[in-house]
Amino acid sequence: MNFNKLKTQNSSFDTLKNQINLWAKEIGFANIGITDPNLSMHQNHLKDWLAHGFQAEMDFMLKHQAKRLNPQELMAQTKSIICVNLPYEECNPTKNDWQRNNAISSYAARRDYHKVMRKKLRQLAEKISEAVDDFSYRAFCDNAPVFEKALAEKAGIGWLGKYTCLLTKESGSQFFLGELFTNLELPFDHACENHCATCNKCIASCPTKALKAPYTMDAKLCIAYLTLEHKTSIPIELRKLIGQRIVGCDTCQLACPWNKKMHDNLKPIDSKKLIELFNWSKTEFLTKTQGTSVRRIGYERWLRNLAVALGNSPYDPEIIIALKNRLDHPSPMVQEHIQWALGQQNSKKPY
């Protein structure tokens, strides 16, 4: 099937679009939508969000806002953008038992989605290349200043939930997003209806009140940001609110009625498991997190987060021993959080 000879006929692009949909489903994508690169309607919201400093230490959000609002700065010949979503199930969980608990975000309890998504996007692009001459594209998956959720929403993949995740009726928010910027003049899809209605359960559930309003997240207060992106000491006033979460946070997603399936695969984490993870050497950390999204936080932040989780755990003499054994860690940040955790444990000591 070669579409090059039919470029002047609109029906050829309708046929190509249908074929791309079929290929995408065969590859494993749940939904596919196509949109144009115009995101000017999001300019005011983004500028207001940045003006409030809600991006926290994510300076790249401020630095690259022009590219985020104008996809053609990333690929000049972009005429249509193919948006896809990949259910979490397509990034099969690793064999590591330590990942499958409610201390680690559900997305991180799987193979690194960046690698899985990029491979599948390349497969889709190769299919299109075989059918269309002079096909140009760039593939993205959370690896460039792409306004992914805005594009996916505009392409009809799903709707933006009040906790700023994209939602579908089938998968809730349990999927990853990817894009192919292309030089093809494909027919565009339409945005779907928002189904959040009057529900505000996600906003009410946030432990740190990071959701300042519907569709507005203050990253400085978000536990997912604090455990994953924040590179320095976690503010003292927020540490207790983090609880035993060590990588990410699913609280708002768990509160969402569209995510009922999330509860099936989660189990509590106990102090013994936290101590085991805290005792890993750097080599163990790098080995056991290989192929997962957890590795990107690095060993230092891994220990920082675990120290906070241990401090927030019920009193246990073994926790105090584990914390004291790492007091000579070369990182001042790790030492600081260990000292804080020891203070928390000692304050719970029964007399």
The mean pLDDT value for 199-216 works out to 98
The mean pLDDT value for 194-211 works out to 98
CB atoms within 10 A of CB 205: 15
| pLDDT, position 241 | 98
| pLDDT, position 44 | 94
Q: What is the CA radius of gyration of the chain?
A: 22
| pLDDT, position 7 | 47
Q: Report the sign of the C-alpha dihedral through residues 152, 154, 158, 163, in that order.
A: positive
User: What is d(CA 270, CA 278) in angstroms, rounded to the nearest whole number?
Assistant: 13
CB atoms within 10 A of CB 133: 10
Confidence label for 202 from pLDDT (cuts 50, 70 and 90):
very high
The mean pLDDT value for 64-71 works out to 93
Given the residues 36, 142, 270, 316, the one annotated as active site: 142
| pLDDT, position 112 | 87
| pLDDT, position 167 | 98
Q: Report the sign of the C-alpha dihedral through residues 88, 271, 246, 164, in that order.
A: positive
**Residue 5 above 50 pLDDT?**
no
The gap from C-alpha 20 to its chain's centroid, in whole angstroms, comes to 26
**Residue 9 above 80 pLDDT?**
no
Whole-Å CA distances, 167 to 29, 192, 274, 307 = 15, 10, 32, 33
User: What is d(CA 211, CA 192) in angstroms, rounded to the nearest whole number?
Assistant: 23
| pLDDT, position 351 | 76
**Residue 46 above 60 pLDDT?**
yes
Domain range summary for the chain, segments of one domain joined by +: 4-182, 201-347
User: What is d(CA 83, CA 155) in angstroms, rounded to the nearest whole number?
Assistant: 7
313's tokens? 């755990």
Q: Which residues does residue 35 pair with via DSSP β-bridges, in sequence order?
A: 81
Confirm whether 112 is a catalytic residue. no
As a whole number of angstroms, the longest Cα–Cα distance in the chain is 84
> Amino acid letter at 316?
D
Task: Write out pLDDT tens, residues 247-266.
Answer: 999 999 999 999 987 765 56
SS3 of the chain: CCCHHHCCCHHHHHHHHHHHHHHHHHHCCCEEEEECCCCHHHHHHHHHHHHCCCCCCCHHHHHCHHHHHCHHHCCCCCCEEEEEEEEHHHCCCCCCHHHCCCCECHHHHCECHHHHHHHHHHHHHHHHHHHCCCCCEEEECCCCCCCHHHHHHHCCCCEECCCCCEEECCCECCEEEEEEEECCCCCCCCCCCCCCCCCCHHHHHCCCCCEEECCEECHHHCHHHHHHCCCCCCCHHHHHHHCCCCECCCHHHHHCHHHHHHHHHCCCCCHHHHHHHHCCCHHHHHHHCCCEHHHHHHHHHHHHHHHHHHHCCCCCHHHHHHHHCCCCCCCHHHHHHHHHHHHHHHHCCCC
The mean pLDDT value for 57-73 works out to 92
